[in-house]
Amino acid sequence: MFKSLTAIEISKKWDSDGNAMYFAKTTPEFMWGCNLYMILTDDNEITGIVNTGLGGNNDLFSYDVACMTQGDFIAVYPSSHVGNGMLVLVPISKPSAPKYGIPDAVDGDYEDMQLTAVQYGLASENDENVTASAIYLGGKLHAEYVDLNQDGNTDIVLIGIQQIYQTGINFREQILRKEYYVKNVYLYDPMKDDFIFSDEMSEMILVSSY
């Protein structure tokens, strides 16, 4: 299963009951992406290896264990090769069956679009020669798992800095123009068994302009 790999990273994490769990992040030879496996153990013996089916851009990929009222989950940041992706929550009890997906949690893609330049006030709609990119500092937003509305259910808050870069003349130069503090709030709806974006509680605040 792990043949022809350039790297295998093993990690140890714990669930809400203090039980140890083991994971392997693998990077195939000559590939941009990585894959995540959960290593099943019993009495310190390996009993199986489960492919979570999740992976992505190796530079942006990360994972952890999120202990929530909805259960214990593997919280994974998978993304495409260009660096767009979401936060995916996979039940520890079913490590190959993702349950929740929070969009726009990963963005390291310099898309160089005129629409982005217009959206962030760097160009008019008629100025087709100005393009820009919107990315997150570090490529992703940081997830916090808290009960915001005190209903007894864990909610998800994504926090980070969004940077707006204007494309230079040679298309390789990226000029930082603006930075925003971003807080995206997703409240858990027990009736839908899903996390719903809260426009009222979310924030996007300009912190720097160059």
Please state the domain extents for the chain: 1-100, 110-210
Check residue 188 and give left, alpha or beta (phi > 0: left; psi -120 to 50: alpha).
beta
Backbone angles phi, psi at 20, to 5 degrees: -80, 140
Question: Which pTM value belongs to this model?
Answer: 0.91
Q: What is the pLDDT of residues 107-124, one digit of tens each?
A: 999 999 999 999 999 999
pLDDT score, position 8: 85
CA-based end-to-end distance of the chain: 50
- The DSSP bridge pattern shows strands 174-189 and 194-197 to be antiparallel
- Characterize 137-172 residue by residue with b for buried, 16 or more Cβ atoms within 10 angstroms of its Cβ, and e for exposed: eebbbebebeebeeeebbbbbbebbbbbbbbeeeee
Cα–Cα distance, 173 to 132 (Å, whole number): 11
Please name the residues in contact with 28: beta carbons below 8 A apart, sequence gap of 6 or more: 4, 5, 6, 34, 35
Give the count of beta carbons closer than 10 Å to the beta carbon of residue 107.
23
- For residue 31, what pLDDT band results from cuts at 50, 70 and 90? confident
Read off the pLDDT of residues 113-162 as tens digits, 9 standing for 90 and up.
999 999 999 999 888 889 999 999 999 999 999 999 999 999 999 999 99
Answer whether residue 180 shows pLDDT above 60: yes
48-96 pLDDT, tens digit per residue, is: 999 999 999 999 999 999 999 999 999 999 999 999 999 999 999 999 9
pLDDT at residue 171, rounded to an integer: 66
The amino acid present at 64, given as its one-letter code, is D
How many other CB atoms sit within 10 Å of the CB of residue 63? 20
